[in-house]
């Protein structure tokens, strides 16, 4: 859902001449978040009206690493004697010719907490984006 609200915000911003986002419609999800961050960040053309969006984007970015593991990694799932589960997510990245292997383990309890935090951050992101776009629409009139 967060990926969709960011994509829709960029689409709307691309239609607003003063936003500076006309050419910022990247294909990859991570690049979309970065494009939005560039527009609303402290040096961006919408830093004044988008400062709260920038703050929420920073908070939301903490969840991006889990998305990468889930979408591009592999996982091992195990169950303890009490029925709780543990998932270990594995990734292999290549950067500047260097192989980097990493993993993260998440318990069922941690996953529930992460999910609640993610939902809350996504709602704040959605709300701040809607507020920013409404303010821009008012300014365009």
pLDDT of residue 73: 94
pLDDT of residue 123: 94
* Residues 61, 54: Cα–Cα separation, whole Å: 10
* pLDDT tens digits, one per residue of 96-131: 999 999 999 999 999 999 999 999 999 999 999 999
pLDDT at 16 over 90: no
pLDDT of residue 21: 57
pLDDT of residue 69: 92
pLDDT at 23 over 80: no
> How many CB atoms neighbour CB 137 within 10 A?
11
pLDDT of residue 26: 87
pLDDT of residue 22: 58
Count how many Cα atoms sit within 13 Å of the Cα of residue 34 in the half-sphere of its side chain: 6
Query: Would you say 35 and 10 are in contact if contact means Cβ atoms under 8 Å apart?
Result: yes
* pLDDT tens digits, one per residue of 58-102: 888 888 889 889 999 999 999 988 889 999 999 999 989 999 999
pLDDT of residue 25: 84
What token pair was written down for 103? 């993993």
Torsion of CA 57, 54, 134, 131, to 10 degrees: 70
Q: Which residue has the tokens 């529930």?
A: 112
Query: Would you say 91 and 102 are in contact if contact means Cβ atoms under 8 Å apart?
Result: yes
């Amino acid at each position: 859902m967060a990926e969709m609200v960011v994509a829709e915000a960029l689409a709307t911003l691309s239609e607003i001449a003063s936003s500076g986002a006309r050419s910022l419609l990247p294909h990859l999800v991570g690049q979309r978040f970065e494009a939005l961050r560039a527009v609303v960040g402290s040096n961006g053309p919408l830093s004044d009206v988008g400062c709260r969006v920038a703050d929420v984007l920073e908070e939301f970015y903490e969840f991006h690493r889990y998305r990468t593991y889930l979408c591009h990694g592999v996982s091992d799932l195990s169950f303890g004697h009490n029925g709780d589960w543990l998932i270990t997510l594995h990734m292999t990245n290549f950067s500047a010719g260097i192989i980097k292997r990493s993993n993260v383990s998440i318990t069922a309890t941690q996953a529930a907490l992460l999910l609640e935090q993610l939902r809350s951050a996504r709602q704040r992101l959605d709300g701040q984006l809607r507020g920013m776009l409404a303010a821009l629409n008012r300014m365009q009139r």
